[in-house]
Structure 1
């Protein structure tokens, strides 16, 4: 059963997923335009690889919370498939809580990295684009993923989410 869309956490995850989708499409169009321009004129769009790197990375971050809500991660139930559903729900909730801790730690460290990049004025090599904002958006996405994992774990413990 897919989780419902009610509540702030599912809406945030959906918004991040949609933003990531648009960003991934934009990076694909940018790469295509740059390749065509290189083919026609011999010159690519300046800094195309920087923009594709930033855009693709942010797009992937945008999919994490939604993937967590949809339980689109890899599940291995070789050892627990025979257990009652409530026990399996508890085991799955435990692993979702572990995922929440991991993504919360990543969000925290990326937030510190964003602050450091801002303080040091870190910029990309070709275009000179400030990098702190992309790192901060990645931290936001990891934070949203942690919240989504907690939300899923809570729903599993209540018995609301069954495969």
Structure 2
């Protein structure tokens, strides 16, 4: 029951992270296309069509890099829960390939604990950063997006990652399988 809930939460966060990531890719593509159309229209290659396109306001998406920065931060934290739950972090097995299953189980439990502590510390610092950004009312340069919104989204995903990391560490130290 608990594992089903945890697994569903991890999948939901990964889905949200994927939606945000796909939206960011689309935004960057639209921005690059708009920038190129704008450049070609200004260069005069399109003849009378150029001024018409310029009149439509076709160009890059204002603040695209600001949106990408905020969205990527959220996506990273959104993918962490599923990665932790499935144990699919990048690893180098050359050192552990020759040891027995008990040593590998201990190492998996140890690194799950280290990961849980690291994610909890990052979550704590995200909360502190979010409070600072909210208190000072910081915004992005171009679109005046309140920076604390990005921190809040990442913080929510980091809380989920913290909960799931603790769950994984407890399961591994008690010798239970995650799957």
Looking at CA atoms only, which structure, 1 or 2, has the larger radius of gyration? 2
> Residues 44 and 78 from structure 1, CA distance in 2 versus in 1: closer, same or farther, beyond 3 angstroms?
closer
Partner SS for 1:75: coil
Which residue among 89, 95, 119 is the counterpart of 1:103?
119
CA apart distance, 1:82: 4.2
TM-score, length-scaled by structure 2: 0.79
- Higher RCO (Cα < 8 Å, 6 or more apart): 1
What are the superposed Cα offsets for residues 23-81 of structure 1, whole Å, 9 maximum, x if unpaired? Answer: 01001111111111122234212111211221222212211111111111133444444
Which residue among 30, 35, 38 is the counterpart of 2:35?
38
Which residue among 81, 95, 101 is the counterpart of 1:85?
101
8 Å CA contact 1:9–1:144 kept in 2: the answer is no
List gaps (5 residues or longer) in structure 2.
40-58
The equivalent of 2:159 in structure 1 is 143
TM-score, length-scaled by structure 1: 0.85
8 Å CA contact 1:10–1:66 kept in 2: the answer is yes
Which residue among 128, 148, 151 is the counterpart of 1:112?
128
RMSD over equivalenced CA pairs, Å? 2.3
Paired residues in the alignment total 160
The equivalent of 2:45 in structure 1 is none
> Residues 76 and 38 from structure 1, CA distance in 2 versus in 1: closer, same or farther, beyond 3 angstroms?
closer
> Residues 36 and 76 from structure 1, CA distance in 2 versus in 1: closer, same or farther, beyond 3 angstroms?
closer
